[in-house]
Amino acid sequence: MALHVMDEAKLCLECRNPRCMQGCPIGTDIPGVIKLLKAGDLDGAGKKLFFNNPLTTVCALVCNHEKQCEGHCIRGLKGSPVHFSVIESYISATYANKMVRGPAEPNGMKAAVVGSGPAGLTIAVLLARWGYDVTIYESRNRIGGMMRYGIPNFRLPDAVLDDFQYRHLELKNIKVRPNTTIGKTITIDDLFRDGFKAVFIGAGLWKARAMHVKGESLGNVAFGIDYLANPRGFKNLGEDIAVIGVGNSAMDCARTAIRQGARHVTCYGRRDESCVSASSYEVSYARLEGVDFRFGVVPVEIRGNGLVCRDNVKGEDGVWRVVEGSEKLYPHTGVIVSVSQSSTYEVDTGSDGAMMRGEKGLLAVDETGATTREGVFAGGDAVAGARTVVEAVAGAKKVAAAMDRYMKSLPRDTTPDPYACIPVVSAPKPDALAEQRV
């Protein structure tokens, strides 16, 4: 690693009022983890990390540390902060290889999780820890959701999610049913019929948000979420690509395009550099890798040979205004639109009534994550909109606790099994078949 883990750990001042914990959305006990590491108890540090955050191996790689734990570190006020991202990555990756504990004592209740993004995986792991029989329903063929299909491999290797599936799902006997979309062939009614006591919906935001400008349907255009899921499939973008957007997803698109062979990539922002929502780390990496930026322009048309934009100027009153008649053509061979995403999850009305949609098509829930349909909970991007992995984990922990309380409050099913008297027919053993053939 670029920074020696123990050297970084020794920099920790063990503050009485740790600002780093205040900056962490899930309140990781950073001083406690570092103290255990310095004492030589790596396993203890690993247990503390995973107990608080099942996705610690992922968060160590993709969290916005500069604005969270490291951004709040007291040492960073006058110099360089303690780089907890390096410490967490080392501890979690090392300790993960030792995790072999099996499923918890079953409590006799089943829970369904729709979607295997960060919220869904967190819910599944926590409920399994508490003894629930958990099944994950994933519409794609591999787990991870946006973590796998929306974050480039150079930032979050597939191997990290594959290891998570083995260590956290398979060893805990959490079942995964891939290529299955709940709400179509299988409904929520079917889940309740088959004995699931509660359902969590964490379907994510898979629908790209269009700008609805002329030329957006051309063959040399891609939406960011589609491009990141399969960049090699977009061969018509050419070597000079415009990326519309300046968020983290836009940076991922730009850096991926460079790795896919683009010679020139330019990111477009509507206002000045203050409108950049991507982390400064990601922006600095993009610039280092050759990505250019153009600010103060608003795309109004996409053509086969480039992007037509109007100037966007900030007035003395601080308001940005588009200048009519200022159209300019910026030559590009392809365009990636990366401005936002929305939900594609079809609300399953079911026999007990519909689940309400909130603003921007997101699912409406109360403070516990419960939807308007009893027994159905929701969280992650499907409720809060596009958020970070750690924010999804933080919200999912609260929803998991609410689901646990709800299921424990249900009366135990004491109805006798009507099929209990059906005799069990066993297949003949191979030697018996041989005797029959004789």
What is the structure's pLDDT at 347? 56
pLDDT of 67 higher than 80? yes
Are the beta carbons of 63 and 393 closer than 8 angstroms? Answer: no
Domain that holds residue 257: 208-340
146 and 225 share a domain? no
Cβ–Cβ < 8 Å for 61, 33: no
Give the rounded distance of the alpha carbon of 307 from its chain centre: 31
Task: Report pLDDT for 68.
Answer: 93
For 75-113, b where at least 16 C-beta lie within 10 A, e where not — what string?
bbeeeebbbbbbbbbbbbbebbeeeeeeeeeeeebbbbb
**Residue 161 belongs to some domain of the structure:** yes
Q: How far apart are the first and last CA of the chain?
A: 68
Same domain, yes or no, for 246 and 278?
Answer: yes
Q: Which of 281, 309, 340 is the last residue of a domain?
A: 340
The total domain count for the chain is: 3
Query: 333 and 229 share a domain?
Result: yes
Token pair belonging to 63: 């969290």
Q: Of 301, 317, 340, which one is at a domain's C-terminal end?
A: 340
220 and 281 in one domain? yes
Residue 261 falls within a domain, yes or no? yes
Give the integer Cα–Cα distance in Å for 420 and 199.
27
H or E stretch at 322: strand 320-322
Query: Is there a single domain that holds both residue 330 and residue 384?
Result: no
pLDDT of residue 438: 46
| Tokens representing residue 102 in the block | 């099996």
Q: Are 71 and 183 in the same domain?
A: no
pLDDT tens track for 339-395:
977 665 555 545 555 666 656 668 889 999 999 999 999 999 888 887 899 999 999
Confidence of residue 48 (pLDDT cuts 50, 70, 90): very high
* 3-class SS shares of the chain: helix, strand, coil, % to 5: 40, 20, 45
Q: Is residue 54 part of a domain?
A: yes
Residue 436's H or E segment, with its range, is: helix 430-437
* 227 domain residue, yes or no: yes
Q: What value does the mean pLDDT take over residues 38-65? A: 94
One domain for residues 305 and 358:
no
Res 303: pLDDT: 97
pLDDT at 428: 66
C-beta atoms surrounding 254 within 10 Å: 32
Within-domain flag for 436:
no
- Using CA atoms, how far apart are residues 159 and 161, in angstroms rounded to an integer? 5
Burial class (CB in 10 A: 0-12, 13-18, 19+), 25: buried
- Of residues 219 and 348, more confidence is placed in 219
Query: CA-to-CA distance for 333 and 253, rounded, in angstroms?
Result: 15
Helix (H, G, I), strand (E, B) or coil at 383: helix
* 349 inside domain: yes
The span from the CA of 243 to the CA of 255, in Å, is 10
Q: Same domain, yes or no, for 252 and 299?
A: yes
Q: For residue 301, give both structure tokens.
A: 């048309």
* Mean predicted lDDT score pLDDT of the chain: 89
Q: Say if residue 97's pLDDT is above 90.
A: no
Domain CATH number, residue 327: 3.50.50.60
Check whether residue 295 and residue 332 sit in a common domain: yes
**pLDDT recorded at residue 351:** 53
Choose among 54, 9, 65, 13: nearest CA to 33.
9
Place of tokens 């009507």: 418
Of 68, 85, 60, give the one whose Cα is nearest residue 3: 85
**Residues 344, 350, 354, 356: is their CA dihedral positive or negative?**
negative
Distance CA 368, CA 397 (A): 10
Residue at 281 is within a domain: yes
Residue 261 sits in the same domain as residue 250: yes
| Token pair belonging to 6 | 């123990």
Establish if 221 belongs to a structural domain: yes
- 200 - beta bridge partners? 113, 377
Paired tokens of 173: 């006997």
Whether residues 82 and 53 share a domain: the answer is yes
Cβ neighbour number for residue 423 with a 10 Å cutoff: 5
Encode 391-413: b = buried (16+ Cβ within 10 Å), e = exposed.
Answer: bbbbbbbebbebbbebbeeeeee
Whether residues 219 and 324 fall in one domain: yes
CATH of the domain at 52: 1.10.1060.10
The confidence band for 185, taking pLDDT boundaries of 50, 70 and 90, is confident
Phi/psi for 432 (5° steps) reads -65, -40
Q: Token digits for 40?
A: 């030589």
Residue 131 pLDDT exceeds 90: yes
Please list, in sequence order, all residues whose beta carbon lies within 8 angstroms of the beta carbon of residue 35, skipping any fewer than 6 positions away: 12, 14
Closest CA to 200 of 110, 109, 114: 114
Contact between residue 292 and residue 331 where contact means Cβ atoms under 8 Å apart: no
Helix axes 42-52, 84-96, angle to 10 degrees: 100
**What gap in Å lies between CA 99 and CA 121, rounded to an integer?**
17
Please answer whether residues 265 and 258 qualify as being in contact, where contact means their C-beta atoms are separated by less than 8 angstroms: yes
- Which of these three, 340, 365, 398, is where a domain ends? 340
DSSP label at residue 275: G
